[in-house]
């Protein structure tokens, strides 16, 4: 998607951190931007940080609430018309390790991280496909969706692996509609995603708590990351890996998987034909998806 000016973006988790970085980068390229966030304090900060434009609109939203997501899609269209960029960015974690997590932990994390992404796709994609003007979807996964992580982040990792997988498939599905897809897999970023976790959960469960938490220091500047995402949208890059320090670890992980494949095997004719047909269909769809952005 080369042209941004005058088009519209919808960003979940856009009131702080990575989402706010995306919002500033896209506003800077002339887009209308709708920022959705669960915490009113974050929306207030977003309004202050992005002041001086009438191309910003904020919505308080629980992404796991499907009816609320449907209304957010309608409100966005009423404000700015057709949506061209959908950023399913919001993400939450929990404190219990994966081997001790209860149903409530799994339901909360999967409901927001996967359920919220699915809700965004279900409510926004029909309009994006129908208007025929092309566009782009950015789904925020994590490096925790690429490599094994300690047990305390296991439930979160499960959700982020799912987001990565659905993004790979979605990219192939949306190419015929002129819509690109990128999956964002960041490492540490200066956000409050961890320190605000309890507040998000309280607000998600209907409690009134809504206050500020401290920013994680030592991570990448979210505004720098926002610019990286905008460039990836412009060039239709399938993967956004902003943190180079993970490269060797990811390579080692994937090399372990490659080493586990048998090398001495035979396929019967029917199985070989089926696999050849599947691989050909995937390759054709991938070529069409990659062609949307020209250079990658």
| pLDDT averages per 10-residue partition of the chain, 296 residues | 95 96 98 97 94 95 97 98 98 93 96 98 98 98 96 96 98 98 95 56 58 62 97 98 97 97 93 96 96 68
Query: If you search the block for the tokens 């399913």, which residue do you land on?
Result: 88
Domain count, the chain: 1
Residue 1 within any structural domain of the chain: no
* Residue 296 maps to a domain: no
- Does the residue 143 lie in any domain? yes
Which pTM value belongs to this model? 0.91
At 153 the pLDDT is: 94
- Cα distance between residue 127 and residue 281, in whole Å: 26
Predicted local distance difference test score (pLDDT) of residue 41: 92
Other CB atoms within 10 Å distance of the CB of residue 30: 12
Is there a domain that residue 91 lies in? yes
Residue 229 lies in a domain: yes
Q: Report how far residue 16's alpha carbon sits from residue 10's, in angstroms, rounded to the nearest whole number.
A: 14
Domain with 144, as residue range(s), is 8-291
Output the pLDDT for position 101: 96
Contact criterion met (CB below 8 Å) for 74 and 51? no
Has residue 55 been placed in a domain? yes
57 belongs to a structural domain: yes
What is the structure's pLDDT at 200? 57
At residue 1, the pLDDT reads 87
Does the residue 3 lie in any domain? no
Whole-number pLDDT of residue 195 = 45
Rounded to whole angstroms, the Cα distance separating 42 from 211 reads 9
Q: Is 253 in the active site?
A: no
**pLDDT for res 296:** 40
CATH code, domain carrying 152: 3.40.50.720
CA neighbor of 245 nearest in space, from 163, 188, 160: 188
| Look-up of token digits 């809504």 | 210
| 278 CB-contact burial (10 Å; exposed 0-12 / middle 13-18 / buried 19+) | exposed
Give me the catalytic one of 108, 156, 200, 239: 156
pLDDT value for 199: 57
């Amino acid at each position: 998607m080369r042209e941004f000016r005058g088009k519209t973006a919808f960003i979940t988790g856009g009131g702080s951190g990575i989402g706010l970085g995306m919002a500033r980068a896209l506003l800077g390229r002339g887009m209308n931007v709708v920022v959705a966030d669960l915490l009113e304090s974050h929306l207030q900060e977003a309004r202050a940080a992005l002041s001086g434009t009438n191309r910003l609109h904020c919505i308080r939203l629980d992404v796991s609430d499907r009816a609320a997501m449907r209304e957010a899609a309608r409100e966005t269209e009423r404000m700015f018309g057709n949506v061209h960029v959908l950023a399913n960015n919001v993400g939450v974690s929990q404190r219990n390790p994966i081997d001790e997590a209860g149903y409530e932990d799994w339901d909360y994390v999967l409901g927001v991280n996967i359920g919220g992404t699915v809700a965004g796709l279900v409510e926004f994609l029909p309009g994006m496909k129908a208007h025929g003007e092309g566009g782009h979807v950015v789904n925020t996964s994590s490096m925790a969706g690429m490599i094994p992580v300690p047990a305390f982040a296991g439930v979160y990792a499960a959700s982020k692996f799912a987001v990565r997988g659905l993004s790979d498939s979605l990219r192939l599905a949306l190419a015929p509609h002129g819509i690109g897809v990128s999956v964002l897999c960041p490492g540490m970023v200066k956000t409050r995603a961890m320190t605000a976790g309890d507040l998000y959960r309280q607000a998600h469960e209907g409690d009134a708590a809504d206050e500020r938490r401290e920013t994680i220091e030592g991570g990448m500047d979210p505004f720098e990351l926002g610019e990286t995402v905008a460039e990836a949208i412009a060039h239709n890059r399938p993967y956004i890996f902003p943190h180079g320090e993970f490269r060797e670890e990811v390579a080692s992980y994937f090399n372990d998987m490659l080493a586990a494949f048998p090398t001495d095997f035979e396929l019967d004719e029917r199985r070989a034909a089926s696999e050849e047909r599947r691989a050909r269909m995937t390759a054709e769809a991938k070529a069409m998806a990659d062609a949307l952005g020209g250079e990658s």
